[in-house]
Amino acid sequence: MHRVLITGAGGGIGRSLRETLRGIYPVLRLSDRVPIAPARDKEELDQTDIADMGAVEKMVAGVDGIIHLGGISGENTWENILQGNIIGLYNVFEAARRAGVKRIVMATSNHAVGFYPRSQIIDHRVIPRPDSRYGVSKAFSEALASLYADKHGIGFLCTRIGNFGSKPIDSRRLSIWISPRDYTQLVRIGLEHSDIHFEIVYGVSGNKRSWYDNSNAYRLGYKPQDDSEPYAAEILAAEAGQAKDPIAERYQGGTFCAEEFTAKTPPD
């Protein structure tokens, strides 16, 4: 990999990868729809709204691999989700195909499977159970990646990110947290592994309390360095006695499941 594009480079994960991948790949092209910090040596800046196909074609020109983080990063109106996470996603994949890009690492989400109960350990082979419009868009992103892998030969690593940050901040995140260095490791596997066609992995650290069987990531060589457990006692003590929504506590997607919930009977 010579030139790697990061979409959504102005967001939290994008800013982190800008630092951790610096010097790993000769050139980083950093794109977002809003201005980002000035370019340094061996960086290229690009300001693009991924809903604009013409601009996206220019954005991907000359890149060898893509880390796709762009789009809407949480629940939103359907109109906004449609532009950023459906139309924008298609534009990135189609422009990549036209440009001959052969490897894409994509940020999907735990919210594509958020309606699985916390009592169930799930792996990469479970069917989607999205918990929100956002989750639906991430399930769509995996389906579209599968199509472009099978039909056009682009290698995809879909990372179902739990919660990215320097440390977990609540009890739910004890099960889904991923550290910056562990996510960087997954991204590098996605870009550099010699034999990736279409793979789904969970973007989580080696958390003792994980709800995920992440054996597919381990098969590809992932060796997480971090675990949320050192933060557990402090977090659980802080939350002791707090009133919590029963729907949010029942399902892996948490409050995404509880928002707008009107079913008379919670699903199994």
Q: Which residue has the tokens 């001959």?
A: 100
Distances (CA, A) of 161 to 111, 115, 176, 180, 198: 9, 15, 8, 12, 16
Tokens of residue 163, six digits: 């919660």
Helix axes 88-99, 133-152, angle to 10 degrees: 20
Q: Are 102 and 234 in contact (CB under 8 A)?
A: no
Alpha helices per DSSP H over 100-193 = 133-152, 173-176, 180-192
Nearest to 110 by CA among 90, 125, 131: 131
CB-count exposure of residue 119 (10 Å: 0-12, 13-18, 19+): exposed
134 is catalytic: yes
d(CA 126, CA 133): 19
Q: Which of 116, 134, 183, 212 is catalytic?
A: 134
HEC readout, 48-92: CCCCCHHHHHHHHCCCCEEEECCCCCCCCCHHHHHHHHHHHHHHH
Q: Are 257 and 131 in contact (CB under 8 A)?
A: yes
Tokens of residue 268, six digits: 């199994």
| Active site residues per annotation | 134
